[in-house]
Structure 1
Amino acid sequence: MKFVVYRRNDFNYKVGVSTVRNGLKWMTFLTSAGMFLVLLGGALVTKTKAGRGCGSDWPLCNGKFVPAYTLESMIEYNHRVVTGIVGILVVVTVVLVWSRLKKQTDAKLYAAGILFFTLLQAALGAMAVMWQQSSAVLALHFGISLLAFSSTLLLAVTVWRLERKPKTEADPDPAVGQAIRISKGFRNLIWLITVYTYIVVYLGAFVRHTFSSGGCTGWPLCNGQWIPELTGATGIVFMHRVAAAVLLLAIIWMAFLANSRYQGHKETQSLAFIILALALLQVMSGAWVSYTIGNEEVFIFSSLLHTVVISGLFGILSYASVRFWELHRLQK
């Protein structure tokens, strides 16, 4: 077996190229895709109010392995089946990473994160079925699922980057790339935006689980007002809208800094552009959600699109947080 020596921040990594190529890369991508389906399935369960489709039984559905063919029971049961299959993929992926990439600390850390968040979201899901939970706790379930998805995405990207060979021994590690001075302030700004995005996501999940989407009709005004009465469902939705607006402004500022301070560094500018594009798309999808509240079939589709975009945004922000941390450490 041939080995390629990679350098990253004063550490030497010996990675067996044939080992990395031996199905591990595709396993991580498959796990990431599966976790994304779990996210969508959970959002669909909430939007269709199918969470009680299997009664209070878990892991059975109304006391059966195969439930009755009602819409609610099939949606809930299919979500459980997909989650179970993805759980198996997670276990296999974690075992492969820890056994084949023993010296790859970041990959092992992401794998551990996947396992932890997957078990936690499964436990929260089971408790939500067997015992009534508050909307605040149910909203946390989506947030944990998002962390599990981001961990799988980071692991998939890490394994993919390991497979890229430097052109010569003198070339920089492709996992680090072009050396550039990323300031501590810009790095911290990305971290702050990522954490704040998670808060906005939680507020959005809280809107779903309290079924408050109808609290604000119209967009960008809420019930025809810039500042509506801040009570009940209206207050919940308006709080989410304000938080999302602040997030968009922060991302616009970040993109401006990336374009003005790091001209010529394509990776930094590309990441900033993708993050900004997803943030704008998220705002537009949120507006579409508001306009389709009265049409149940379209409303479910627009809500799922809203979930898809925010999941992609948070995943890219998570990667950017790690990437800019790496680039900042190049200064030392």
Structure 2
Amino acid sequence: MHAAQRRLALLKMLSLLGVVLTVGVILLGAWTRLVDAGLGCPDWPGCYGALVVPDEGRALAHTPEAPLESAKAWMEMIHRYVASSLGLLVIALVVLGRPLRRRADYPWRLSLGLLALILVQGAFGAFTVTLRLWPQVVTLHLLGGLGVMLVFLWLHLRLRRCASGSLAPGGVAAPRRALTPLWGLAAFLLVVQLALGGWVSSNYAGIACQGFPTCNGEWWSGLDWSEGFHLTQSVGPNYLHGQLHAEARSAIQVGHRLGALALGVAILALLLCYWRETAMRPWLGALGLAYGVQFSLGVANVLLWLPLWLALLHTAGAVALVLSLALASWRWRCLAPASTTTQQSSLQKKEWLHV
């Protein structure tokens, strides 16, 4: 195998490992939040000034106002260790990919973008602790983790295309279909819904509503929208367990439900518009299934009062939804444009007639 091909094979493997590892980091972060371990270590990047969780005496001497809870501290540090390994993996991808940066089809700028994103995500990890779980930062940290996963996936798909040498004659990239506005709308609504989910979690509004589809027996009354979505909350209080009153949390929960409804309509529209394309059916089916499972998990969390394992599955469902939409949109772009397909069919027909 040629040296460049061996390097590409290694980069493909590392980028796929990055997707898997990022999913692990997201789920570890969700579990850390669910068991109230987000401030298990009151400082950053160490824990009570140490690289590993110290004993109770050292912790008390370092931060006497934050008593050590060893299990929570270890949960937080394990999350940090795995997230740090993700950063090292991105650096390895950039270093190993540098010799290929002049290839026309190599995603060099995407690799650099991933490095910049992982640095920003690391900063948000620090702010999550130093700003005492400020909901704005916690929500952005969740979106950043999903963004890192998505860029890893896109990098992997680009590397696969690069390794396959799928260039048209003359070194020009094969034609790709542009995403239609409907794909853009679905992607936008998914981002909004993920942000709403992060806002629910960071404000501890997961069980603010009893019952479904109504909220505490009401459809609309008893909701404080202005306070629930007041984005300029003061920085400084400890936001562990939240600071908002019940009506504000109920408004956040209802907002998340409305976001789920809007996203469902957009995904249904994608299925109805593009199901006729046979090559798209497995990907659209996976997208529809991911949405259906995620919606069911959300309802179950409300009805069963947010058991920890089910809440973690709901986060995993969000990950699956992001991956399925990304893969479906990639498949859409990779299919030959309709005009190209028609021209090829016409050419084949003429060749057959001349035989």
TM-score by length of 1: 0.81
Secondary structure in 2 matching 1:214? coil
- Kindly, what percent of the aligned residue pairs are identical? 25
Contact 2:100 2:106 in 1 (8 A): no
Task: Give the corresponding residue for 1:210.
Answer: 203
Alignment partners' CA distance in 1, 2:290 and 2:106: 26
Alignment partners' CA distance in 2, 1:98 and 1:322: 25
Task: Give the corresponding residue for 1:237.
Answer: 253
Q: Are 2:267 and 1:251 aligned?
A: yes
The aligned runs of 1:303-322 (5 Å cut-off) are 303-322=311-330
Shift of the 98–327 alpha-carbon distance from structure 1 to 2, 3 Å rule, reads farther
The aligned runs of 1:135-150 (5 Å cut-off) are 135-150=135-150
> Is there any run of 5+ residues in structure 2 with no aligned partner, and where?
55-68, 225-247, 341-355
Alignment partners' CA distance in 2, 1:2 and 1:122: 36
Paired amino acid for 2:315: T
Q: 2:290 aligns with which of 278, 284, 287?
A: 278
Shift of the 165–122 alpha-carbon distance from structure 1 to 2, 3 Å rule, reads closer
Alignment partners' CA distance in 2, 1:107 and 1:137: 30
Q: How far is the alpha carbon of 1:304 from its aligned partner?
A: 1.3
Shift of the 161–292 alpha-carbon distance from structure 1 to 2, 3 Å rule, reads farther
The aligned runs of 1:292-331 (5 Å cut-off) are 292-293=304-305, 299-327=307-335, 331=339
Shift of the 106–203 alpha-carbon distance from structure 1 to 2, 3 Å rule, reads farther
Alignment partners' CA distance in 1, 2:339 and 2:133: 48
Alignment partners' CA distance in 1, 2:12 and 2:101: 12
Task: Give the corresponding residue for 2:6.
Answer: 18
Task: Give the corresponding residue for 1:39.
Answer: 26
Contact 1:190 1:320 in 2 (8 A): no
Secondary structure in 2 matching 1:213? coil
Shift of the 35–90 alpha-carbon distance from structure 1 to 2, 3 Å rule, reads same
Q: How far is the alpha carbon of 1:19 from its aligned partner?
A: 3.1
Q: How far is the alpha carbon of 1:151 from its aligned partner?
A: 0.4
Q: Are 2:122 and 1:132 aligned?
A: no
Shift of the 100–120 alpha-carbon distance from structure 1 to 2, 3 Å rule, reads same
Alignment partners' CA distance in 1, 2:106 and 2:309: 36
Alignment partners' CA distance in 1, 2:209 and 2:164: 49
Task: Give the corresponding residue for 1:289.
Answer: 301
Q: How far is the alpha carbon of 1:106 from its aligned partner?
A: 6.2
Task: Give the corresponding residue for 2:15.
Answer: 28
Task: Give the corresponding residue for 1:49.
Answer: 36
Shift of the 121–165 alpha-carbon distance from structure 1 to 2, 3 Å rule, reads closer
Contact 1:113 1:148 in 2 (8 A): no
Alignment partners' CA distance in 1, 2:272 and 2:223: 33
Q: Are 2:79 and 1:63 aligned?
A: no
Deviations, residues 244-263 of structure 1 (Å, cap 9, x unaligned): 11101110111011114x2x
Secondary structure in 2 matching 1:59? coil
Task: Give the corresponding residue for 1:79.
Answer: 79
Q: How far is the alpha carbon of 1:31 from its aligned partner?
A: 1.4
Task: Give the corresponding residue for 2:181.
Answer: 188
Q: How far is the alpha carbon of 1:133 from its aligned partner?
A: 5.4
The farther-off stretch of 63-72 and 316-325 is 316-325
TM-score by length of 2: 0.76
Contact 2:127 2:137 in 1 (8 A): no
Shift of the 94–80 alpha-carbon distance from structure 1 to 2, 3 Å rule, reads same
Task: Give the corresponding residue for 2:109.
Answer: 109
Alignment partners' CA distance in 1, 2:286 and 2:272: 13
Alignment partners' CA distance in 1, 2:48 and 2:32: 16
Shift of the 319–107 alpha-carbon distance from structure 1 to 2, 3 Å rule, reads farther
> Is there any run of 5+ residues in structure 1 with no aligned partner, and where?
4-15
Q: How far is the alpha carbon of 1:158 from its aligned partner?
A: 2.3
Task: Give the corresponding residue for 1:9.
Answer: none
Q: How far is the alpha carbon of 1:132 from its aligned partner?
A: 3.4
Q: How far is the alpha carbon of 1:308 from its aligned partner?
A: 1.1
Alignment partners' CA distance in 1, 2:256 and 2:106: 34
Shift of the 74–228 alpha-carbon distance from structure 1 to 2, 3 Å rule, reads farther
Deviations, residues 219-248 of structure 1 (Å, cap 9, x unaligned): 233223333522211100000001111101
Q: How far is the alpha carbon of 1:327 from its aligned partner?
A: 4.4
Q: Are 2:211 and 1:225 aligned?
A: no
Q: How far is the alpha carbon of 1:160 from its aligned partner?
A: 2.8
Secondary structure in 1 matching 2:48? coil
Q: How far is the alpha carbon of 1:62 from its aligned partner?
A: 1.2
Q: How far is the alpha carbon of 1:142 from its aligned partner?
A: 0.4
Alignment partners' CA distance in 2, 1:281 and 1:102: 43
Alignment partners' CA distance in 1, 2:145 and 2:325: 16
Q: How many residues align?
A: 302
Contact 1:35 1:149 in 2 (8 A): yes
